[in-house]
Chain A
Amino acid sequence: MWPDRRLQDLFKTEFPIVLAPMAGAIDADLVIAVAEGGGLGSLPCAMLTVEKAREQINIIRQRVSAPINMNFACHKMIDPDPVREAKWRERLAPYYEELGLDPAAPIDAANRAPFDEAMCELVEELKPDIVSFFYGLPGPALLARVKAAGCVVMASATTVREAIWLEENGADIIIAQGAEAGGHRSMFLTDNITGQPGTFALVPQVVDAVKVPVIAAGGIADGRGIAAALALGAAGVQVGTAYLRCPESKVSAPARAALAHDDSTVITNVMTGRPARGVKNRVMREVGPILPDAPAFPHAATAFAPLKAAAEKLGKVDFTNLWAGQAVRLGREMPATELPRALAGAALARMSKLAG
């Protein structure tokens, strides 16, 4: 028995298990698989155009009638600083030379746009059951329109202060993201990377501070972790890393191999300009993992696009984001359609065993 059914009631899913919206690793296939498996599928839209996002949602809806979560970022876009960008390109120039690329060739800017008018119109058109936000929330006018479209709003907090802010500003569900989490940390009221509490210290403190349901995120990838998160007061969990090696994920073959063989992760800012956790790639080892003068998010990522493409052709992940949480060693290769049920079953078994 689930100790808390608030999420299942809100989501109309079988399990209180949310697929973490991992931009770059997820498209319609993984969302469909998780939805079919009884979890909440999440489509990361921060790197998609409006057209692409609509297309993906349409594909999902043709296949499943389950509720969907569309995820967006709410960062403030900072214009690229030409001096910093030039220094950055210079820093990376040896890698360009090594791969026979022209460091001066123009590159398309990294495509990580914040939630805006156009995306809001798409939400109003598609009316997903759930919309989740990263880096805070959109402005009150846009948020009001999302809510008027009937969407349940989730948002991620990395501290108690952020959780309280999100609740006060209209979030219906708080995702408490601990330091273990892979990928970008949702910090928006602080930039102190070392201050982010671990998931298990953060969750009960957020639960005590807000009235809305809390979802635990970060380092949870098996039944034990889920049962533990629920004991701490979470109404459910968000799981990402566990799905990275499922056949339905978009992670490339060389990146999968890296994720399968390396079980230590670090937080870096060099790949995009914002702190994110992943398995160490070559550039994190040689340039990072933390570099105070890396270009601001998302501009640091721009210069990596040609490097990544060229290196991956050679089967190398030197410049590939290997985003993964501390639970990377718990990643599975099983079909994502089966994973939510396996996770839920293991969690329920653990809880009933301890109940005697």
Chain B
Amino acid sequence: MPINTALTGLLGVKHPILLAPMDVVSGARLTSAVSNAGGFGILGGGYGDRGWLERETAKLKEVASAPVGIGFITWSLAKQPELLDVALSAQPRAIMLSFGDPRPFAPRIKDARALLICQVQDEDMAREALDAGADILVAQGTEAGGHGAARTTLDIVPAIVDLAAGRVPVVAAGGIADGRGLAAMMMLGASGVLLGTRFYASQEADGAEEAKTRICAAKSGSTTRGIIFDMSRNNVWPAPFNGRCLINDHARRWMGREIELLQNMKSVAVEYAAARTAGNFDVAAVIAGEAVGLIHDIPKAAEIVDRLVTEADQIMLGRRNSATALRA
């Protein structure tokens, strides 16, 4: 039975499952795979690389047979606002803005008749997004991989659902990787979920194979949130944002020694950049969230969507006891 929510109606999609616009990882291939499977793929516009954006949006036109979105890091987009026009010219169903004030961009998005999705980490950001005319709010908990803030999914999702009070659908993000998570977020009042790490470990993701393998092998508790990796690549974000990724040798070396890292930033940055180029993930970060312990394989994105919907549907119908049946 399809899970119909305010979100699926608004986006015109079959399943209330959104792909997180992961920088580099959520390319045209993964975005179209999620959308073509009935979810909603969101291209990872990230910090804004014009060449990449033009190439991937062109590719989307060929491979996506269902609506897609394009996401940006808001404070970074503010440095080259013309990229929004590149994105809008691809006629996405929605633009997703995360981390920063969406208001300067909202009018152009609305004029282009795209929906505005805003990711928020607290009530003040949610109010700002609603003022900007957000059509959909994504409430992101600290469990999420990549950049985020401090409050957990269980805390922030109902808080934003209450604040939105039915005016716009609320999507839950952070720590969700299976149908149990989708069902749980529906119970909390969300209209859908946004997943990053689970889709990173998919065949169509543009991340390194080694990174995907590390996500599958990672056990619960093997991520950390902080600024070590942002410092190491000379890219510290505005407060309150920091990032979650797998704990690797580099993280172990610097955790709790951030001041020393700051003092050695130059030499560390050189070492870190070289490791990124070489794909050395003992040093370079694999961005992943706390649900990493629930991810054990690298299927096609369509299979991930299908599993999520099937499991969640059975749990919600009471046909499946999530405590015992999902282990198989």
Chain A residue contacts of B291, Cβ below 8 A: 201, 204-205
Q: Which of A1-17 contact B (CB under 8 A)?
A: 1, 3-4, 6
Chain B residue contacts of A214, Cβ below 8 A: 323
CA A327 to CA B221, docked complex, whole Å: 23
A213 at the interface (CB under 8 A from B): yes
Q: Are B323 and A222 in contact (CB under 8 A)?
A: no
Q: Are A326 and B322 in contact (CB under 8 A)?
A: no
Interface string of B219-250 (1 = CB under 8 A from A): 11100111000000000000000000000000
CA A141 to CA B308, docked complex, whole Å: 45
Q: Are B142 and A198 in contact (CB under 8 A)?
A: yes
CA A233 to CA B321, docked complex, whole Å: 7
- Tell me how far the C-beta of B19 lies from the nearest C-beta in chain A, rounded to whole angstroms: 19
- Tell me how far the C-beta of B167 lies from the nearest C-beta in chain A, rounded to whole angstroms: 18
Chain A residue contacts of B154, Cβ below 8 A: 178, 180, 198-200, 218-220, 225, 228, 326-327
Q: A178-B152, A180-B152 are in contact. Are A198 and B317 (CB under 8 A)?
A: no
Interface string of B164-194 (1 = CB under 8 A from A): 0000000000111010110111111100000
CA A234 to CA B321, docked complex, whole Å: 10
Find B187's partner among A197, A198, A224, A327 (CB 8 Å cutoff). A224
A152 at the interface (CB under 8 A from B): no
Interface string of A300-327 (1 = CB under 8 A from B): 0000000000000000000000000011
CA A195 to CA B290, docked complex, whole Å: 10
Q: Are B158 and A233 in contact (CB under 8 A)?
A: no
- Tell me how far the C-beta of B242 lies from the nearest C-beta in chain A, rounded to whole angstroms: 11
B202 at the interface (CB under 8 A from A): no
CA A160 to CA B291, docked complex, whole Å: 12
Q: Are B187 and A351 in contact (CB under 8 A)?
A: yes
Interface string of B190-229 (1 = CB under 8 A from A): 0000000000000000000000000000011100111000
Q: A160-B220, A205-B220, A355-B318 are in contact. Are A229 and B184 (CB under 8 A)?
A: yes
Indicate the size class of the contact surface on chain B. 35 or more
CA A180 to CA B159, docked complex, whole Å: 14
Chain A residue contacts of B53, Cβ below 8 A: none
Q: A213-B323, A354-B316 are in contact. Are A198 and B153 (CB under 8 A)?
A: yes
- Tell me how far the C-beta of B98 lies from the nearest C-beta in chain A, rounded to whole angstroms: 19
CA A305 to CA B290, docked complex, whole Å: 38
Interface string of A72-88 (1 = CB under 8 A from B): 00000000000000000
Q: Are A224 and B323 in contact (CB under 8 A)?
A: no
Q: Which of A169-216 contact B (CB under 8 A)?
A: 178-180, 194-195, 197-202, 204-205, 207-209, 213-214
Q: A197-B290, A356-B317 are in contact. Are A228 and B185 (CB under 8 A)?
A: yes
Chain B residue contacts of A276, Cβ below 8 A: none
Q: A160-B221, A219-B152, A228-B154 are in contact. Are A201 and B289 (CB under 8 A)?
A: yes
A230 at the interface (CB under 8 A from B): yes
B293 at the interface (CB under 8 A from A): yes
Q: Are B155 and A180 in contact (CB under 8 A)?
A: yes
Number of residues on chain A facing chain B (CB within 8 A): 48
Q: Are B142 and A208 in contact (CB under 8 A)?
A: no
Chain A residue contacts of B180, Cβ below 8 A: 204, 231-233
CA A28 to CA B306, docked complex, whole Å: 50
Q: Are B152 and A326 in contact (CB under 8 A)?
A: yes
Q: Are A232 and B181 in contact (CB under 8 A)?
A: yes
CA A213 to CA B322, docked complex, whole Å: 12
Q: Are A197 and B220 in contact (CB under 8 A)?
A: yes
Chain B residue contacts of A195, Cβ below 8 A: 221, 224
Chain A residue contacts of B152, Cβ below 8 A: 178-180, 198-200, 219, 326
Q: Are A231 and B318 in contact (CB under 8 A)?
A: no
Tell me which of A3, A159, A198, A220 has the highest count of chain B C-beta atoms within 10 A of its own C-beta. Answer: A198
Find B321's partner among A3, A179, A229, A326 (CB 8 Å cutoff). A3
Q: A160-B293, A195-B224, A231-B322 are in contact. Are A355 and B184 (CB under 8 A)?
A: no
Q: Are B187 and A326 in contact (CB under 8 A)?
A: no
- Tell me how far the C-beta of B255 lies from the nearest C-beta in chain A, rounded to whole angstroms: 9
Chain A residue contacts of B322, Cβ below 8 A: 3, 204, 207, 230-233
Chain B residue contacts of A63, Cβ below 8 A: none
A26 at the interface (CB under 8 A from B): no
A161 at the interface (CB under 8 A from B): yes
CA A235 to CA B317, docked complex, whole Å: 17
Interface string of B292-323 (1 = CB under 8 A from A): 01100000000000000000000111100111
Chain B residue contacts of A355, Cβ below 8 A: 316-318
Contacts from B to A (Cβ < 8 Å): 1, 141-143, 151-155, 158-159, 174-176, 178, 180-181, 183-189, 219-221, 224-226, 289-291, 293-294, 315-318, 321-323, 326-327
A-B contacts besides A161-B221, A201-B220, 5 pairs, CB < 8 Å:
A180-B154, A199-B154, A214-B323, A231-B180, A231-B184
Contacts from A to B (Cβ < 8 Å): 1, 3-4, 6, 159-161, 178-180, 194-195, 197-202, 204-205, 207-209, 213-214, 218-220, 222, 224-225, 227-235, 326-327, 329, 350-351, 354-356
7 pairs of residues in contact across A and B, judged by CB atoms under 8 Å = A197-B143, A201-B143, A201-B290, A204-B291, A204-B294, A219-B152, A231-B315
- Please provide the 9 A-B residue pairs with the shortest distance between their CB atoms, ordered closest to farther: A201-B290, A201-B175, A198-B152, A227-B187, A228-B184, A231-B183, A160-B220, A228-B187, A233-B322
